[in-house]
Chain A
Amino acid sequence: MKRVVSSIVFFASIVLVWYGLVRLGIWSSVLLPSPVSVGEYLYHETIDGVLPGAMWVTFRRLMVGYFIGLALGLPLGFLSAFFRVFQDTVGLIALGFQTLPSVCWIPLALLWFGQTESAMLFVVIMGSLGSVIIATETGVKNLPPIYVRAARTMGSKGIHTLLTVVLPASLPYLVSGMKQGWAFAWRSLMAAEIYVTILTGFGLGQLLHYGRELHAMEQVIGVMLVIVLLGLLVDKVLFSPWERSLHRRWGKAQ
């Protein structure tokens, strides 16, 4: 309760200071719109269905790209943990991908796919793949070998050991890898939506882009707020409870 109160007080004072600055009139309202006009923008666009629509478009792209990234990244991570050959090839590429900012994929994606959904999907997949592979590989490699040995004495082998021991034992690492992959996918998609201005669907990034084109600062700030809130929401609702329950069961303090 105390934590909730301190959060509320903190954010309320930020808005208050913001409002005060606007009232002082030091900067033009084109550069610094008042919190009221940002609130009005958010309210109207929500009622109109523009914001929910953009959120849905963004979310769909994110989900599709992210799950393809996971579907490719998890098995590749396992392979790279188990086989030296994969570690020296796929693992190395993954490490390289991870250091490459995802915006750097956009020129290539545009040339290959043009202004299409595929270009955006491609950027999201490439952006999240590396971190998923690396996290999976780390998780499996840090597995205490005693678990597999114990399972073998009880008659487990091959795919059974993989499914009943290696997978659950590395789950805490996999979840943090998935979380990291999600964060990277989210960043990549925003970059892609700002640069790839297609007409097959207006995402949050595109709203942001057109906010700039139209000099609509309340739109720019409003959409940024929505992006931050969505990111927080996914973390608090999806990943945090999952990680907490894993750590409770494993008995590790986060």
Chain B
Amino acid sequence: MTTSLQEELRNLPPQKLEVEGISKTFRTKRNRSVVRALEDVTVRVNEGEYVCLVGRSGCGKTTLLNLIAGLDRPDSGRILVEGTPIKGPGRDRMVMFQETALFPWLDVTGNVLYGLKLKPNLTPKDRREVARFYIEMVGLDEFEHASIHELSGGMQQRVALARALAPNPRILLMDEPFGALDALTREQLYGDIQEIWLKRRKTIVFVTHNVREAVCLGDRVLLFAPNPGHLVGEFKIDLPRPRDINSVELAEYSSTITRALKGYDPKEEVAE
């Protein structure tokens, strides 16, 4: 094993993420009306912290994730990683999308290699080793050369996780990655992702509309409300890890948060 490969496989320390006074509006395609997706949102995520964003659809949580990823630009405000403002996408922040966004024309290894190939100072052999390392980490070593569509939804998300981890990011952004999976597969993945996170500590921003999922995974749960999308509250989750999604304590937390979330919903919007 070469030294550069060893170096590459060492987990880079997670970094601090600051979102300062972000606002974002966009126009709908249908009638060009203005949607205030986010208004004056400020969020601080510490090094290695696992933060979950929860809210009903349309509260701007995915918009915020895209802004942090650098895929879109905010109208005002700024986003800092370890004190440096971001300029577009970067390998320090990798994204896991809801629809996996895996490339069907590549096999499992090809998908994991995609980001690695764009990383300089690695030999092709090292890249293969790195890809194998992460594919093994997510438990897919027997499926290295499988086509994407041959895999189940849960396995596809594992590939997406391996692909996101492979370039060794400091921050991991996850946009409802388990939304389309069945309950059993999801519960299995909750366990796996906690285990992996304990081994390879990243700063994680995790978007979901499932409160229980947020409580199971997050150190902190941030609540968002729509029109305009803004932060309305936060809960610290003081439960030991690994957490069991079916435990009583967890259920208590999530019922408290669900109640709070309902309380933030202005009446007129429910009527809409």
Measuring CB to CB, which residues of chain A are less than 8 angstroms from any residue of chain B? Answer: 144, 146-147, 149-156, 160, 164-165, 168-169, 171, 248-251
B101 within 8 A of A: yes
**CB closest chain-B residue, reference A165:** B103
25 A-B contacts, Cβ less than 8 Å apart? A144-B99, A146-B97, A146-B101, A147-B101, A150-B101, A152-B89, A153-B71, A153-B89, A153-B94, A153-B95, A154-B91, A154-B118, A154-B163, A155-B115, A160-B118, A168-B103, A168-B106, A171-B105, A249-B104, A249-B105, A250-B149, A251-B104, A251-B148, A251-B149, A251-B150
Taking the closest CB of chain A, its distance from the CB of B55, in whole angstroms, is: 22
> Measured between alpha carbons, how far is A153 from B91 in the docked complex, in Å?
7
Taking the closest CB of chain B, its distance from the CB of A84, in whole angstroms, is: 15
Measuring CB to CB, which residues of chain B are less than 8 angstroms from any residue of chain A? Answer: 69-71, 89-91, 93-95, 97, 99, 101, 103-106, 114-115, 118-119, 147-150, 163, 167
Which residues of the other chain, A, contact B147 by a CB distance below 8 angstroms? 248-249, 251
**CB closest chain-B residue, reference A167:** B105
A250/B114 in contact, CB under 8 A: no
B99/A146 in contact, CB under 8 A: yes
The residue in B90, B91, B115, B150 that gathers the most chain A C-beta atoms within 10 A of its C-beta is B115
Contacts A251-B148, A251-B150 hold; do A155 and B118 have CB atoms under 8 A apart? yes
Which residues of the other chain, B, contact A154 by a CB distance below 8 angstroms? 91, 94, 114-115, 118, 163, 167
Main secondary structure of the interface of B (DSSP, over half): loop
Which residues of the other chain, B, contact A152 by a CB distance below 8 angstroms? 71, 89
Which residues of the other chain, A, contact B95 by a CB distance below 8 angstroms? 150, 153
> Measured between alpha carbons, how far is A4 from B70 in the docked complex, in Å?
57
> Measured between alpha carbons, how far is A76 from B99 in the docked complex, in Å?
31
Taking the closest CB of chain B, its distance from the CB of A62, in whole angstroms, is: 29
Taking the closest CB of chain B, its distance from the CB of A76, in whole angstroms, is: 23
Which residues of the other chain, B, contact A149 by a CB distance below 8 angstroms? 71, 97, 101
> Measured between alpha carbons, how far is A156 from B114 in the docked complex, in Å?
9
> Measured between alpha carbons, how far is A128 from B31 in the docked complex, in Å?
39
Taking the closest CB of chain A, its distance from the CB of B86, in whole angstroms, is: 12
Taking the closest CB of chain A, its distance from the CB of B100, in whole angstroms, is: 9
Which residues of the other chain, A, contact B103 by a CB distance below 8 angstroms? 147, 150, 165, 168-169
Taking the closest CB of chain B, its distance from the CB of A160, in whole angstroms, is: 8
In the complex, given contacts A249-B104, A251-B148, what are 4 additional A-B residue pairs having Cβ atoms less than 8 angstroms apart?
A146-B99, A151-B114, A153-B95, A155-B91
> Measured between alpha carbons, how far is A150 from B102 in the docked complex, in Å?
8
Closest 7 CB pairs of A and B: A251-B149, A154-B115, A150-B101, A155-B118, A168-B105, A146-B101, A153-B95
**CB closest chain-A residue, reference B88:** A152
> Measured between alpha carbons, how far is A171 from B115 in the docked complex, in Å?
21
> Measured between alpha carbons, how far is A251 from B118 in the docked complex, in Å?
27
Which residues of the other chain, A, contact B70 by a CB distance below 8 angstroms? 153
A250/B105 in contact, CB under 8 A: yes
Taking the closest CB of chain B, its distance from the CB of A175, in whole angstroms, is: 12
Which residues of the other chain, B, contact A169 by a CB distance below 8 angstroms? 103, 105
Contacts A146-B101, A147-B103 hold; do A164 and B114 have CB atoms under 8 A apart? yes
Which residues of the other chain, A, contact B91 by a CB distance below 8 angstroms? 154-155
The residue in B99, B104, B115, B119 that gathers the most chain A C-beta atoms within 10 A of its C-beta is B104
> Measured between alpha carbons, how far is A220 from B149 in the docked complex, in Å?
49
Which residues of the other chain, A, contact B99 by a CB distance below 8 angstroms? 144, 146
> Measured between alpha carbons, how far is A154 from B95 in the docked complex, in Å?
9
**CB closest chain-B residue, reference A154:** B115
> Measured between alpha carbons, how far is A131 from B131 in the docked complex, in Å?
41
Contacts A153-B89, A154-B115, A156-B118 hold; do A250 and B104 have CB atoms under 8 A apart? yes
> Measured between alpha carbons, how far is A160 from B118 in the docked complex, in Å?
10
Taking the closest CB of chain A, its distance from the CB of B131, in whole angstroms, is: 13
> Measured between alpha carbons, how far is A152 from B72 in the docked complex, in Å?
11
> Measured between alpha carbons, how far is A160 from B94 in the docked complex, in Å?
18
> Measured between alpha carbons, how far is A169 from B95 in the docked complex, in Å?
20
Which residues of the other chain, A, contact B105 by a CB distance below 8 angstroms? 168-169, 171, 249-250
